[in-house]
Structure 1
């Protein structure tokens, strides 16, 4: 059995290599920050759509890998938006009979 190795990337270097112009890099980072401050309900929706708060009940290994990839992508967005998962979880608590927040 292969051991899973977690790699930590140097985010400033990654952003500098993908977005070489400082202005574009700044705009991308500000976009993620705006998600975390202004669009929390959108991030909560992303969490729900990608099963961040639910177990993976995929019918096959392949479907499970796809679901986990989607979940990891959502978590990466939350990390870049600098938003706490607990904050998003609280925003998903809705009374389904009235549509009001609990």
Structure 2
């Protein structure tokens, strides 16, 4: 799987997009990432692993907790690829933040 494939595969899942929206606010412990979801910690860890393999997040051990951090520059490759079609504007972090926030709020109202 290419880097671009990994990014688009990671973004295809609504749970992973919601996780990215949460991480826009600040770094979070894995347990805090898992809290709003009705799924096991193991399932959330699998989602986080997909995001990490795509380079969209990094994880680090801090004491006894594992922390997740958004890596917004990872979207640059996908943005450049989409611009090749001439129909897409460059991905700006502010626009991506608005998109993820709308995803999160629509999930809150539908769930």
**TM bin (shorter chain):** 0.3 to 0.5
- TM-score, normalised on structure 1? 0.34
- By relative contact order (CA 8 Å, sep 6+), the higher-ranking structure is 2
Higher strand share: 2
- TM-score, normalised on structure 2? 0.32
